[in-house]
Structures are given as structure tokens and as C-alpha cells.
Amino acid sequence: MTRPNATLVLADGTTFEGYAGGYLPENGTTSGEFVFNTALSGYQEVITDPSYAGQIIAFTYPHIGNYGVTPLDDESSRPWCHGVVVRELSEVASNWRSVGTLEDFLVVHRIPVMLGVDTRRLTRHLRAHGALPGAFGHVSPKDVDAAARVAVGTDGQDLVTMVSTTERYRRGDGDLHVVAFDYGIKSAMVDQLARRFTLSVVPSDTSADQVRELGPDGVFLSNGPGDPAALAGNVAVIEQLVGTVPIFGICLGHQLLASALGATTFKLPFGHHGSNHPVQDLVSGKIEITAQNHNYAVTPDSLDRAVVSHVNLNDGVIEGASSIEERCFSVQYHPEAGPGPHDARYLFDRFEHLLRDGALEVR
């Protein structure tokens, strides 16, 4: 297959060469914040994770697309990322579950891809200089450079409103009722919660009074994209709910709950994006292999009304917080994912125990 030449330019002027694939935008370029993901598989789940809104995903694994795509692996109704960068994009899909190629999937969903890129060099650059805005495209390098100069990152951006559901919907038929705030909730998380509870998924801008009107036994705060510091309104709602109903948060939901409990957040240099992050439970001492996707984290020593429950063994980042008094807890990673394969599933048991017994159980 003959492909157009393409150029990738980061905001600091660093340039990469390759070829254009997937959807070819009419203006010839796509821009966003470049981050790298270290997962060896699960590319469809990564691409359809709403937490990547506003970003361009560079896969560190060199061969992407070899087992095709299936609707069963979609984490949302469509990809929210701005683009994908790979070393090699497989043109052959070999898997009994596959209904098509990854490139066809990207074309349907209007997601540009750049291939033939030295992703090892790109990853090393982002590790050294942090996640950077930039652009890639199949127009002249001068035009791509111009697009990179005006590209923006995720700092200060509310991307949640864009990815959240606009209508409340219900799943499951359990005897306990959980209201889940959709900040960018993944389908796998909806499935896990619906196996245990009657689940009402509500828009991100739902008020505390509207939540109370639903009469929940507990509240869940989902993952999502963007800067938690830009979501003061969402934090204010959580502040009104803390202490009145049990709460469980993950990823962005963890950051928002921590903010409601007095903490601050900061941006990591290049974030945690992958399926192999070791996390230690500080109570039990056990190690979990976790899937993660976040650019922001809770600032150390900033929690006023909670204690740190989990830490990342790679860099010491806070990976969990809990408050027995407020009946709430949260983790920075994704317990619905299966990298360990199910190291973190006990957190759903902990949430159910909290709802049934009214007390936060720590193992």
C-alpha cells in the first residue's frame, strides 16, 4: 500500500518522519497532547477510553493492530483521542473475534494515524521533556510545524463535559442502588458495577440534590480526561455528598474526591499510561499489577481529611486514599481492567461491604 509521507512536530520543535494512515483530515493535520502508552495489547480499549480526550496516543509496542477489532472491546461509543502514532500498523487482522482491521476502525471514527515513526525515540523524548502538545499530518512540514505551534495540552481544560453522557441511564438489577457520575466512564466499569448493583449512570453536571432524589445506597466517581483543577463545580458537588453517602472513586474520580477532602493535584511529567504499574496496598503490604491512564495526581502531604492507602512503586505517586470517618475511598488506577489479571477486583468487594455494613473495610 502506498501511503502519503507525514511529519510529526512537537511544541519544542522536535520532528519525526513517517507515513499517514487511518482517516486523512481535510486540513491535513491533527493536533493534541502527545502521551505514550506501554501496554502490549488492548489497543482498542486504549483508543476508545474517553480519558484520552484531547490527546494523541503513541504506542510503545512496535506492532499494533494484529488481532483486529471487535465491538466487544469498545470502552465507549467512539474514540475521543485526537490521533494515534505507531511504529508498524498491521494490515492483517488475525483473530476469531475480529470483525475488521484497526485501520478501517480508525477511518470509520475519523481518527488519523501516523505510522513508521521511531516510537522508541519519541517515547524517550517525552520521558525526558514531559507530555508535549504538537501535531502530525500529511501536508508540508512547514504547515505541520505551524499547527504544532498553536497546539494546546490538557492543562486547565474541562474535557469531562465533552465526553459525559447527556442522559441518565440504568444498568443492572442488584438490591443495592449506586449512582455513578460519568466523567468519561468506561464500558468495562459499567459492566463490573452492574454485576453487583442497580446502577444509575448520570451526567457529570448532576447536582447533589438530584443525586439524593435518586435515593442511592452509594455513589461512584468515574475516570475521565483533563485537568481536575479545572473541575471546581464537580468538586463542589462531591463536597456536598461526602459524609452523607458512601463514595468510591477511581482515576479522575480519585483526584476529585481527594480535592473534596482538602487535597490539591499536580501534573505528572509524562503521566502513567499502561497496564503494568506496580502498586502497593499500604495496609496489607500486597502488590497489585494495575492498569493506569492519568496525567495528573494528588499532591503528597495535601490530604487533610483522608489517609494515603496505596502508592505507585515506580515513582511513589499516591495511588489511593480513604477516610473511615467520611465513608469514602478511591484509587488512581483502574480496578475494572485485568492486567494482573484481577489483582484489584477486591475493591468492588470493599465498596459492596461499605454499602451493606456502613463501615469501610481495610484488609
Confidence band of 362 (pLDDT split at 50, 70, 90) = low
- HSE-CB for 52 with a 13 A CA cutoff: 32
Q: Which of 45, 81, 103, 251 is catalytic?
A: 251
Assess whether the region 5-149 and the region 160-357 belong to the same CATH fold: no
Q: All 3 cell numbers of residue 327?
A: 465513608
Provide the residue ranges of all domains of the chain, joining segments of one domain with +. 5-149, 160-357
Cα 271 from chain centre: 11
Assess whether 328 carries a catalytic annotation. Answer: no
Q: All 3 cell numbers of residue 127?
A: 520521558
pLDDT(315) > 70: yes
C-alpha to C-alpha distance for 16 and 2, rounded to whole angstroms: 19
On average, the pLDDT of the chain sits at: 95
Q: All 3 cell numbers of residue 15?
A: 520532528
What is 5-149's CATH topology? Answer: Glucose Oxidase; domain 1 (3.50.30)
> Which whole-number Å values give the CA distances from 48 to 51, 88, 109, 155, 279, in the listed order?
9, 20, 10, 21, 24
The pLDDT, as a whole number, for residue 154 is: 95
CB 134 within 8 A of CB 9: yes
Assess whether 272 carries a catalytic annotation. Answer: no
CB 37 within 8 A of CB 46: yes
Confidence band of 343 (pLDDT split at 50, 70, 90) = confident
pLDDT per position as a tens digit, 168-227: 999 999 999 999 999 999 999 999 999 999 999 999 999 999 999 999 999 999 999 999
Q: Which of 75, 103, 336, 352 is catalytic?
A: 336
pLDDT per position as a tens digit, 239-279: 999 999 999 999 999 999 999 999 999 999 999 999 889 99
Q: What CATH number belongs to 160-357?
A: 3.40.50.880
Q: Which of 82, 272, 273, 334 is catalytic?
A: 334
The pLDDT, as a whole number, for residue 83 is: 98
Q: What share of the chain is helix, strand, coil (3-state, %, to 5)?
A: 25, 30, 45
Confidence band of 363 (pLDDT split at 50, 70, 90) = low
Cis peptide before 341 (omega within 30 of 0): yes
Q: Which residue is associated with the grid cell 502490549?
A: 40
